[in-house]
Amino acid sequence: MAEELGFSKGLAGVVADATSVSQVQGEDGRLIYRGISIEELAEKSTYEECVYFSLYGKMPTKNQLTKFNTELRHNRVLPKAVEAVIAAAPRSAHPMAVLQAAVAAMGFDEQPVNLKNEEANIHNAIKIISQLATAVAHISRDRRGLAAVSPNTEMSHAENFLYMLHDKVPNKEEARIFDVALILHLDHDFNASTFSARVVASTEAKLSLSISAAIGALSGPLHGGANEKVLEMADGIGAPEYAKEWVLNAIATKAKVMGFGHRVYRTMDPRAKVLRGMLEKLVATKSDKSTYETLRIVHDTMIEELGKTSKDYIWPNVDFWSGSLYRLMDIDSIDFTPIFAVSRVAGWSSHIIEMWRDNRIYRPSAKYVGPTDAKYTEIKNRK
């Protein structure tokens, strides 16, 4: 009898591969991109600089960043085939399903993978990163019955996305807040969507198709769809004055409180901390503070009540505050997960390109739990 292999449901604790792109230090509540803390990058960097850092493994010089920005900005226009895929989708379709199809269509004219040509793979990633943002804005406006807005090559990645989404130039403060949100979501080691991208790319599938697979994984409510569920929860509570009672009832009945807990973090998610700071600045400029106030009371009540008895899973994750932040920017909740992809596509691409340097197809073993000596029964004798 063959020796039984190790088994871990959900691959918890299993080291599947090595990476230098990012690391989650769950016990300490720390996230680093290639060694630099997310807090420092959020304070000092830009999304474009972080994308370069993620793809190339080093910070760019001024000239390198200028050239990189130019390439990003001049790859924003969608191919006609991608526009046709978006136009063919029913408006009732979830934008993540449309986005998955649109990104797959980006690969119609993509060349087969050449693992030895890393520079070409990086340039292909830059094109997909640029076009994915345009596709998300296009899909959102199409769903709302609005004409697509052509990208503006004079704007940053964050500014241009908000411009394409709303057909108006965003103010500098909101553009910077959105830029930081993109930085915070850029990568998160071997999460479900990144692992999906790596599995597909390990077969040497095209980059666009590997990214399309990652989008499918991201669409689930246990992954990228969580911030949309947080706002559904807040809307269901109704108003801030009902929030504390709602939480107490949820705790008593062991109901799920969306946006709390994480598979890796055992303390405050560092991204949540940065997001809340930005959210508090933004909410101070808005007249409607009800969603934020509801979530603030949910947060404080959860910490107060669960902190009495447990030290586990009482902290909010990044999804708890991000939805409220995007709502204040007049973004529909159904667009939250596609916006997650606008950021995370850079991380997915970086992992794939890194993996291709020493590629081996993923082929894990399974723990078989079925019968081992069953007999075939003729159809005439089956009951």
Report all structural domains of the chain as residue ranges with CATH numbers, in order of start: 9-221+333-357 (1.10.580.10), 226-329 (1.10.230.10)
Q: What average pLDDT score do residues 87-111 get?
A: 96
The residue with greater pLDDT, 322 or 264, is 322
315/160 Cα distance (integer angstroms): 33
Per-residue pLDDT band at 262 (split at 50, 70, 90): low
Query: For residue 181, which of 295, 292, 50, 287 has the smallest C-alpha distance?
Result: 50
Q: Model confidence over 35-55: pLDDT tens digits?
A: 999 999 999 999 999 999 999
Say which of 179, 319, 335, 351 is annotated catalytic.
319
Q: Model confidence over 19-30: pLDDT tens digits?
A: 999 999 877 889
- 342's CB contacts (< 8 A; 6+ apart) are 132, 133, 136, 161, 182
Written as one letter, the residue type at 317 is N
Say which of 188, 262, 299, 351 is annotated catalytic.
262
Neighbours of 379 (CB within 10 A): 6
Which residue carries 């003729």 as its tokens? 378
Burial class (CB in 10 A: 0-12, 13-18, 19+), 147: exposed
Calculate the CA 373 to chain-centre distance: 45
Burial class (CB in 10 A: 0-12, 13-18, 19+), 91: exposed
Does the pLDDT value for residue 310 go beyond 60?
A: no
Residue 157 falls in the annotated catalytic set: no
Per-residue pLDDT band at 83 (split at 50, 70, 90): very high
State residue 27's pLDDT score. 78
Question: Do 158 and 182 form a contact (C-beta atoms < 8 A)?
Answer: yes
Per-residue pLDDT band at 2 (split at 50, 70, 90): very low
354/319 Cα distance (integer angstroms): 27
203/155 Cα distance (integer angstroms): 37
Does the pLDDT value for residue 260 go beyond 60?
A: yes
State residue 264's pLDDT score. 66
The residue with greater pLDDT, 89 or 366, is 89
| Average pLDDT of the chain, as a whole number | 92
Does the pLDDT value for residue 308 go beyond 90?
A: no
Per-residue pLDDT band at 288 (split at 50, 70, 90): confident
Token pair, residue 151, equals 């990208």
Q: Model confidence over 145-162: pLDDT tens digits?
A: 999 999 999 999 999 999
Q: Going edge to edge, which strands form the sheet with 30-33? A: 22-25, 30-33, 36-37
Which residue carries 């929030």 as its tokens? 243
Residue 137 φ/ψ region, left for φ over 0, alpha for ψ in the -120 to 50 degree band, beta for the rest: alpha
Residue 319 falls in the annotated catalytic set: yes
State residue 1's pLDDT score. 34
Among residues of the chain, what percentage have pLDDT more than 70? 95
Token pair, residue 39, equals 């807090």
The residue with greater pLDDT, 258 or 43, is 43
State residue 8's pLDDT score. 82
Backbone angles phi, psi at 23, to 5 degrees: -145, 135
State residue 265's pLDDT score. 59
Neighbours of 17 (CB within 10 A): 14
Per-residue pLDDT band at 311 (split at 50, 70, 90): low
Helical residues (DSSP H) of the chain, grouped into ranges: 38-44, 47-56, 62-73, 80-88, 95-105, 118-143, 157-166, 172-184, 192-201, 207-218, 226-237, 243-252, 270-283, 290-306, 318-328, 336-355
State residue 177's pLDDT score. 95
DSSP string, 39-58: HHHHHH--HHHHHHHHHHSS
Q: Model confidence over 194-228: pLDDT tens digits?
A: 999 999 999 999 999 999 999 999 998 878 877 88
- 351's CB contacts (< 8 A; 6+ apart) are 19, 21, 187, 194, 197, 198
Q: What average pLDDT score do residues 308-317 get?
A: 62
The residue with greater pLDDT, 2 or 251, is 251
Q: What average pLDDT score do residues 111-129 get?
A: 96
Burial class (CB in 10 A: 0-12, 13-18, 19+), 126: buried
Cα-based distances in Å from 209 to 38, 71, 112, 352 = 29, 22, 11, 12
Neighbours of 10 (CB within 10 A): 8
345/207 Cα distance (integer angstroms): 11
Q: What average pLDDT score do residues 71-90 get?
A: 98
The torsion of the CA quartet 164, 33, 37, 257, rounded to 10 degrees, works out to 70
